[in-house]
C-alpha cells in the first residue's frame, strides 16, 4: 500500500509525565484492580460482620495505637512524597535522591509498625472468621506496602547509579503516584479494622 506522509512527529519528547506516560496508565490500571481487591475484601468483612450476632468474635477489638500511629505517618508522608514529585518534575537529581531516601525510610518504618499492628490485633487468623478476615485485610494491605517499599528502595539505589537518566524522573513520579494509592487505600481499612469492632 502506498504511503503518504502527512505529519512529522520527530519533535515530540521521548518520555512524558502523568497522563502523557504509558507506565502512569499502567499504574492506574493496577490501582483500579487492586482497589477492587480491597473493596471485595471490605465487602467480605462486612458480610461476615452482618451474619454474626457478636463482633468481634471471641476477641477484644485491636489495640488502637499501632493503626492510629500508622495513619498519622501515612498522612504526613504525603508531604515528602509530594516534594519528591515536584523535584522529579524539575529533574533535580540531588533532591530526588534525598526525597527517595526519606520515602524509603518512612516505608521501612511503616513496615516495622505494621508488625506491631499484627501483634496487637488481639486475635489469630485461626480463632474465628473475624480473625481470618482481619488478617486477610491487613495482609492484603501489607503486601501493597511491602511491594511499594521494595520498589522505592530499588528506585533509590538506581538513582545513585549511572542509570539515573532523565526518563527515570518519570518513573519516580509514578512511584510517588502509587504511594498515594497505598495511603488512600489504608484510610478506609483503618476505620474498618480499628473502629468497626468498637461500634
Smallest gap from residue 58 Cβ to another protein (A): 8
> Whose Cβ is closer to another protein: residue 16's or residue 71's?
16
Interatomic CA distance for residues 31 and 20, integer angstroms: 17
Smallest gap from residue 33 Cβ to another protein (A): 4
Is the peptide bond preceding residue 31 cis, with omega within 30 degrees of 0?
Answer: no
> Whose Cβ is closer to another protein: residue 10's or residue 94's?
10
Smallest gap from residue 141 Cβ to another protein (A): 13
Residues at the contact surface with another protein, assessed by CB under 8 A = 1-17, 19-22, 25-26, 29-30, 32-34, 36-37, 39-41, 44, 47-48, 51-52, 57, 91, 125-133, 135-136, 150, 154, 158, 163, 165-167
Would you give the DSSP letter of residue 58?
A: S
Alpha-carbon separation of residue 182 from 2, 51, 84, 138, 140 (angstroms): 50, 30, 16, 12, 11
> Whose Cβ is closer to another protein: residue 72's or residue 157's?
157
> Whose Cβ is closer to another protein: residue 130's or residue 178's?
130
Interatomic CA distance for residues 136 and 198, integer angstroms: 19
Interatomic CA distance for residues 43 and 45, integer angstroms: 5
Smallest gap from residue 85 Cβ to another protein (A): 15
Alpha-carbon separation of residue 74 from 21, 59, 121, 163 (angstroms): 26, 27, 19, 30
Give the number of residues written for the chain: 199
> Whose Cβ is closer to another protein: residue 68's or residue 115's?
115
Question: Do residues 67 and 117 make contact, with C-beta atoms less than 8 angstroms apart?
Answer: yes
Question: Do residues 155 and 100 make contact, with C-beta atoms less than 8 angstroms apart?
Answer: yes
Smallest gap from residue 181 Cβ to another protein (A): 14
Amino acid at each position: 500500500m502506498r504511503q503518504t506522509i502527512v505529519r512529522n512527529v520527530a519533535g515530540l519528547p521521548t518520555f512524558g509525565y502523568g497522563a502523557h506516560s504509558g507506565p502512569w496508565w499502567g499504574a492506574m490500571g493496577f490501582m483500579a484492580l487492586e482497589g477492587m481487591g480491597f473493596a471485595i475484601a471490605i465487602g467480605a468483612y462486612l458480610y461476615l460482620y452482618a451474619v454474626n450476632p457478636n463482633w468481634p468474635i471471641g476477641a477484644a477489638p485491636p489495640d488502637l495505637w499501632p493503626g492510629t500511629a500508622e495513619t498519622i505517618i501515612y498522612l504526613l508522608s504525603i508531604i515528602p512524597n509530594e516534594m519528591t514529585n515536584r523535584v522529579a518534575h524539575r529533574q533535580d537529581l540531588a533532591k530526588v535522591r534525598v526525597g527517595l531516601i526519606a520515602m524509603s525510610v518512612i516505608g521501612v518504618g511503616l513496615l516495622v509498625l505494621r508488625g506491631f499492628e499484627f501483634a496487637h490485633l488481639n486475635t489469630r487468623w485461626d480463632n474465628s472468621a473475624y480473625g481470618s478476615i482481619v488478617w486477610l485485610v491487613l495482609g492484603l494491605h501489607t503486601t501493597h506496602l511491602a511491594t511499594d517499599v521494595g520498589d522505592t528502595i530499588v528506585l533509590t539505589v538506581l538513582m545513585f547509579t549511572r542509570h539515573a537518566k532523565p526518563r527515570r524522573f518519570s518513573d519516580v513520579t509514578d512511584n510517588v503516584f502509587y504511594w498515594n494509592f497505598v495511603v488512600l487505600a489504608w484510610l478506609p481499612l483503618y476505620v474498618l479494622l480499628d473502629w468497626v469492632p468498637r461500634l
